[in-house]
Amino acid sequence: MLLSSLARLEATIDAETTSLTVHDLRDQDDFNRRKSQSLVELARLGRTISADRLSPPEIEGLERVRAKLRRNHELLGIHLRAMQEVSDLVSTMIQSAESDGTYSAVLRYQE
């Protein structure tokens, strides 16, 4: 049961990582839903499985998922930072466009 849960999570992580690599975020909601489902499933399994009784294939599966999650996390962080930078830029541009300069710290001289 654990191995099949890990395989589903691994497939989801692989698909999302590929999507992030090619900058295609259309399926992000689906990836988030699938990862949440996997988290619930693994949490339930975690209550019934003793860590000292994991089989070698289960341990390998967990280590593989951990490594893939690290890479996925890095890519998500890159995308989030880029989105924040774009958001900040757009916000600044909107504020500049809406401002008439009345309260600006910059003094403007008219000639």
Q: Which domain holds residue 26?
A: 2-82
DSSP characters over 30-67: HHHHHHHHHHHHHHHHHHH--GGG--HHHHHHHHHHHH
Residue 96 within any structural domain of the chain: no
* Count of domains for the chain: 1
94 located within any domain: no
Tell me whether residue 26 is in a domain: yes
The C-alpha atoms of residue 36 and residue 2 are separated, in whole angstroms, by 16
Which of 45, 48, 49, 27 is CA-nearest to residue 13? 27
pLDDT of residue 15: 97
Q: Does the residue 95 lie in any domain?
A: no
Q: Is 20 a residue whose pLDDT tops 90? A: yes
Q: Is 93 contained in some domain?
A: no
- Does 99 reside within a domain? no
Using the predicted structure, report yes or no on whether residue 108 has a pLDDT greater than 60: no
Residue 104 counted as domain residue: no
Contacts made by residues 54-58, CB under 8 angstroms, sequence distance 24+: 54/2, 57/3, 58/2, 58/3, 58/6
What's the pLDDT tens digit per position in 27-45?
999 999 999 999 999 999 9
In a domain? residue 100: no
| Digit-coded pLDDT (tens) for 50-104 | 888 899 999 999 999 999 999 999 999 999 999 999 999 999 888 888 776 666 5
